[in-house]
Each structure stands twice: as C-alpha cells, then as structure tokens.
Amino acid sequence: MTSRLMFRVLAALVAFTVLARIPVGFDVGFKFDSALAVIWAFGLLSLVLLTGYVGQISLCQATFAGVGAYATGLMVAGFHTDYLVAVGVGVAAAFTLGVIVGIPALRLRGITLAIVTLGIALVFDRYVFQDHAFEWFTGGTAGWRVDRATMFGLQMDSSKHLMSAYIVLLALFCVVALLMVNLHDSGAGRRLRAIRDSELSAATMGVNLTRYKLLAFGMSAAIAGLGGSFYPLVAGSVSPQPFWLFTSLQFAAIAVLMGVRYVPAAALGGVFMAVVPDVLTRFGHGTFMGHAYEISYDWFQIAVGVLLIVQLIALPDGVWGDLRARVRHARSAAGAIGGRKVKVA
C-alpha cells in the first residue's frame, strides 16, 4: 500500500466517522435531508466520472437514478426480496440503461449528445415514469410503497431506522468515492482521460473507444442508480417527481458549479442540493422590518442557475477546483521559502 493510498483510505475513514455523527442530534427532517444529500451526491459523483474523467456530457443522470429507484421499489414491494438484492437489481437496471444510452454516444459528442440525453430524460420523465403502459414497472400513479425492508437481516424501513439507512448509504458513498479517486490515476482512468482529451489520439494509442465509452456510461449510470436505489428506503415510496427532467438539469448544473473534475465536489454538491431547499422552505419565511417575506423553494433553482452562469464566466474549474488551486498556490508559495522539493507528477 503506497502512502498516498493509505492517506486516502484514512481520509475516507475520518470523513465517514465525522459525517455519520452529524445528523444525530437533529430532527427527522434533517436526518432525511442528510440521507437525501448522499443520494444526490451519488448522482453528482456519476457526472464526475462521465464528464470530469471521460468528457462526455449527459443531461439524464436523474433518469438513471430513477430507474434504479423504480427497479428497487419493484423488487421490494412487488417481489418482497431482501433490500440488498433489490439494490443489486436496481444498479444492474441502471447499468443496462447506461450502456444503451452510451450507444448513440459512440458517434456523438458535445452538444449533440446533450440533445439526445435531454430527450431521453424527457421521455422517461413524461412517458415511462407516468404512463399506464409502464405501470408494471412504476407501480402506477401511487408508486411503490416500501414499508418493510430488511438488509443483512436487520429492519431498515424509513420510519424508524432512517439513521441506519443513512449510515449504510454514507459507507457506500465513501467506498465508491475512494474507488473513483483511485480510478483517476489507474491504467483504466488514464485511458478514460485520454478519451476526454482527444478521442482520436486515444484511439491511435490503442484505447478501445467503444469498450471504454460504453463502460463509462454504464458505470456512471450504475453510480447514479446506486444512489437512486436507496431512495425508496429513505423516502418510503417512489414517485416520478424527484427524478424528473429538472433534477437531471440540476445535477448537470450543480456538478459543473462545484467542480466537475473533483470527487469531493460531488459530496459538497449533494449537501447543497439537499439541505439548502429544505432550509429555505423551513426558515425562509417570517417578517423583516415589518414586512412579511417568503423565500420559497423556487429561489434555490434561481440561485443554482445564476451561480452556474457566474461560475462559468469567472471560475471555469468550479468552486472546489478554484479553492483547491488557491490552497495549492498558497502551499507552494509557503513551501518555496522552506526549499520544499517540487514533485513532477
């Protein structure tokens, strides 16, 4: 084990221990928010892989999460399987859809791929998740209700055991995030990044474009689906609303805003996406200097849109990327005084 890997494992463990304790003192609403934050963080992490590493744009990540959620709901509510089995089925369903979406991506890139994925998100939002023809999959307009769920033989349903669901989610997120960070420098990661920089030169150097692009789409969809497949456990039911088109667009916007090339930015974005709207709806009303005011959920999406525009003009590498660059700059400036050796990566 290299020292770098050990440092990363240690960082993930510390992050897990600290984050697992944070929601303990709060009420159910905030516990739900923290679990939701991890689910959204999975969606953003899937974009770090797809956009940050491989350079493919996708506007249908919430669709993958939704397919994972519905497949899991179908397995638990329809076939009464163990929740772990259901999650496996959900992830597999998302992976399959990801590979299918990846097929047109073999020939498309950039904005044409954005158009196709937008269309896919819209078809699932308006048609598959809502139409009578797919009721066997979506459980009708009411969706699947997940009242009882067992995992490892333990009761895990949302009403009483929200914290245990949160801890399982968080542990999974830390593992996947660690794998993602390690992927960045591995052989496969280098091939993926070669595709991002230039497909032509990557193919010239012997990277199998078809295989790696399909794999990237599949893995990315599986990560989003892994988060989504915990949604029924956390929320107690599945409905189309959390996975509609605008969630996909918010995923893309927030991933870019926070820094689409960095794994920790996904966690930051997940917290932002889950906690800020809830705080707004809870505390966003009252009176200020004699005037009643109300800040509704809509202000969150307005803020996301405006911040995204400002960020793309001013800080192209995202919030996390910019912070990181500043910290590195300060450190290297301080290190220069002490004569620190410069490591050439």
Partner 1 sequence: MGAFAAYTIIGLGLGGIFSLAALGIVLIYRTTGVLNFAHGAMGMFSTFVAWQVFYGWSHPFWPTWLATLLAVLAGLIFAAVMGLFLEFAVFRWVRTREPVVKAVITIGVLLALQSAASLIWKNNQYHLPIYLAPQQATFQLAGVPIGANYIVIVIMALGLAFGLGAFLRYTSFGRSMRAVSDSPTSASLWGVPVNKVSAVSWMLGSLVAALAGILITPFINFDTTSLTLLIIDALAAALIGGLVSLPLTVLGGFLLGLLETYPTIWIQSLGFPRLVALLVIIAVLIMRNPRGFAVASK
Q: Which of 82, 96, 305, 323 binds partner 1 (CB under 8 A)?
A: 305
Q: How far apart are CA 115 and CA 321, in angstroms?
A: 27
Provide the sign of the torsion angle of the four alpha carbons 55, 60, 62, 68, taken in this order. negative
Q: How far apart are CA 239 and CA 232, in angstroms?
A: 9
Q: Which of 29, 78, 140, 316 binds partner 1 (CB under 8 A)?
A: 316
- Residue 337: CB atoms within 10 Å: 7
Q: Which stretch in 131-139, 148-156, 170-178, 215-223 sits in contact with partner 1 by CB under 8 A?
A: 131-139
The answer to whether residue 115 forms part of the interface with partner 1 (CB under 8 A) is: yes
Residue with tokens 């590498």: 317
The answer to whether residue 296 forms part of the interface with partner 1 (CB under 8 A) is: yes
How many CA atoms within 13 Å lie on the side-chain side of 30?
10
Query: Which residue lies nearer to partner 1 by CB, 309 or 327?
Result: 309
- Burial degree of 293 (CB within 10 A; 0-12, 13-18, 19+): exposed
Q: Which stretch in 76-84, 139-147, 169-177, 248-256 sits in contact with partner 1 by CB under 8 A?
A: 248-256
Please give the distance of CA 222 from its chain centroid, rounded to a whole number. 10
The answer to whether residue 108 forms part of the interface with partner 1 (CB under 8 A) is: yes
Q: How far apart are CA 39 and CA 236, in angstroms?
A: 14
Q: Which stretch in 23-31, 87-95, 180-188, 242-250 sits in contact with partner 1 by CB under 8 A?
A: 242-250
Q: How far is the CB of 251 from partner 1 (least distance, A)?
A: 10
SS3 288: strand
The answer to whether residue 250 forms part of the interface with partner 1 (CB under 8 A) is: yes
Looking at residues 46 to 75 of the shown chain, list those that interact with partner 1 (rule: CB under 8 A).
Answer: 57, 59
- Residue 39: closest CA among 222, 304, 176, 229: 229
State the number of binding residues for partner 1 (CB under 8 A). Answer: 45
User: Given the rule CB under 8 A, which residues bind partner 1?
Assistant: 57, 59, 104, 107-108, 110-112, 114-116, 118-120, 122-123, 126-128, 130-133, 245-246, 249-250, 252-253, 256, 296, 298-302, 304-309, 312-313, 316
